[in-house]
Amino acid sequence: MIDLKKLAFASTIALAAGIGAAQAQGDLTVAVQLEPPHLDPTSAAAGAIDDVVYSNIFEGLTRFMSDGTVVPGLAESWEISDDGLVYTFKLREGVTFHDGTAMDAEDVKFSLDRARAEDSVNAQKALFTSISDVAIIDPLTVRVTLSEPNGLFLFNMAWGDAVIVAPESIDTIKTNPIGTGAFRFVNWVQGDRIDIEKNPEYWGTPARLDNATFKFISDPTAAFAAVMAEDVDMFSTFPSPENLPQFEADPRFQVLVGSTEGETILAINNKLPPFDNVKVREAVAHAIDRQAIIDGAMFGLGTPIGTHFAPHHPAYVDLTANSAHDPDKARALLAEAGFPDGFETTLHLPPPSYARRGGEIIAAQLAAVGIKAEITNVEWAQWLETVFKGKNFGLTIVSHTEPMDIGIYARPDYYFQYDNKAFQDLIAELNKTTDPNERTALLQQAQTVIANDFVNGFLFQLAKPVVAKIGLEGFWVNAPTQAVDLTAVGWTE
């Protein structure tokens, strides 16, 4: 009898616990490292904005799936003219913005015209430069005319920078974003969190979650504590790879390591002597031991790269052997370049551990061949000011997380200041090419050119570790673009 009582008592508790868990089924707290400066993805480069709004709040004509494929978004279908210049988009019917207004051709024209305008502050204006005209055929049909064929046009339209916004709400978009997505913006407590809720009027598959909260935790120790204490249900891109084995060993959590578009490079100021000498850059490349950096700074997380291209992309060429670790060769090259005793330079390191720890390792590796790199640790704001805008640096470490961004090497005013006419022509030709095979050939040629010019020290492809509670499913493991897409996320029954 006593046993039965105990059993009944235990099942009551289990029932109560079950109810408790069921109530939380529709809620999710997800942590990301950085708080966005504001919430308009069409007017800033900050990836932290896309983390919160991409696909959740804002949608574009096309969109990325987790595996990197581009699928229809607000455009249901499209037709491309034979010369590749005219795209006719058929928009979905019955799509409304969160404020109740209809999403139609007007909004598409407004968004594209705004992004490509002369005074546009869009961080990726290059995505729109090939557009010469946007015309409204009827409320659900838009015709986009390009000035030249662009093989990447549909891909470009999937970026967070190309989402469709409404003219009615554009003035307050930075603090109160009104989009068409499966979630609505609710509240932003600066310095702490952003709340979003399910959009019941959503045109597509409704979100599984009722409420979601984004928390901002950049400190690795705080991140570890928050996950361990179950203050957050999921951490997208966990900051300290060294803690992952502990989560893996813990039955409460699942750890998934996905790929990102983040080429982590030792950026070299190509205009600053002695780095204007290709021999010196080659010496730097051979002084670096990638595996030591991946093991030491990332605890093994990351894929070595030999050029500025994502290894999971079909057009990737493995050029790591081109800049294999060879200190003797590095010393010989330095001597050839006129620096038998090496030289001194600076190494600016932004906060992420790939940079701070990787920087210490690289400084030691450079010192071994005679290059004395003085380390300066900087915050992101300072990095943007001094390195990215001011170009006042010798070396720096950063991860370029934009997809398909080899084109930055064709911009001579870009912060590492690589100026090669042949390469610029190559990229111009690539942009015009629509044939997939020809594109692959050109992309591979481009990868080889920058690898042979040793523009930067190509280190590794950043991995994306996601830590989530057991029972959570539907989140992105790979990051084809910076996003924490919650539209398919839910708890298993």
Partner 1 sequence: MNRNLIIGGLLSSLFVLAALLSFVWTPFDHAAMDIPAKLKLPGAPHWFGTDHFGRDMFSMIMVGARTSIAVALVAVGIGMALGVPLGLTAAARKGSWLDELIMRGNDLVFAFPSLVIAILITAVFGAGALNAIIAIGIFNIPVFARITRSAALSLWERDFILTARVSGKSSARISFEHILPNVMNLLIVQGTIQFSLGILAEAGLSYVGLGAQPPTPSWGRMLADAQTMVSFAPHLALVPGMAIILTVLGLNLMGDGLRDYLDPRLRVVRT
- Residues of this chain that interact with partner 1 (CB under 8 A) are 220-221, 224, 240, 242-243, 245-246, 292, 295-296, 357, 359-361, 363-364, 367, 374-377
Radius of gyration, alpha carbons of the chain? 25
Cβ closest to partner 1, residue 295 vs residue 429: 295
Whose Cβ is closer to partner 1: residue 254's or residue 353's? 353
The C-alpha atoms of residue 70 and residue 72 are separated, in whole angstroms, by 7
Give 81-129 as a DSSP string.
-TTS-EEEEEEPTT-B-TTS-B--HHHHHHHHHHHHSTT---TTGGGTT
Q: Are 315 and 435 in contact (CB under 8 A)?
A: no
CA–CA separation, 55 and 73 (whole Å): 9
CB of 280 to partner 1, least distance (A): 22
Q: How near is the Cβ of 275 to partner 1 at its closest, in Å?
A: 21
> Residue 213 or residue 243: which is nearer to partner 1 going by CB?
243
Given a contact cutoff of 8 angstroms between Cβ atoms, the answer to whether 114 and 40 are in contact is no
What letter would DSSP give residue 168? G
30: tokens are 């997800």
Q: Which is nearer to partner 1, 243 or 481 (CB)?
A: 243
Shorter beta-carbon distance to partner 1: residue 376 or 424: 376
Q: Which two tokens stand for residue 51?
A: 């983390």
The CB-of-289 to partner 1 minimum distance in angstroms stands at 9
Count of residues making up the chain: 493
Shortest reach from residue 242's CB to partner 1, in Å: 6
Angstrom distances, CA of residue 348 to CA of 268, 277, 305, 398: 11, 21, 21, 10
Least Å from the CB of residue 361 to partner 1: 6
Residue 57 or 363 with smaller CB distance to partner 1? 363
Q: Say how far apart CA 278 and CA 473 lie, in whole Å.
A: 48
Shortest distance (Å) from residue 371 CB to partner 1: 13
Residue whose CB is less far from partner 1, 258 or 359: 359
The smaller minimum CB distance to partner 1, of residues 4 and 249, is found at 249
377-384: long-range contacts (C-beta < 8 A, 24 or more apart)? Answer: 377/349, 377/351, 378/348, 378/349, 378/350, 379/350, 379/351, 380/350, 380/351, 383/348, 383/350
- Work out the number of other CB atoms within 10 angstroms of the CB of residue 58: 29
Name the minimum Å distance from CB 337 to partner 1.
25
User: In the complex, what is the shortest distance from the CB of residue 343 to partner 1, in angstroms, rounded to a whole number?
Assistant: 17
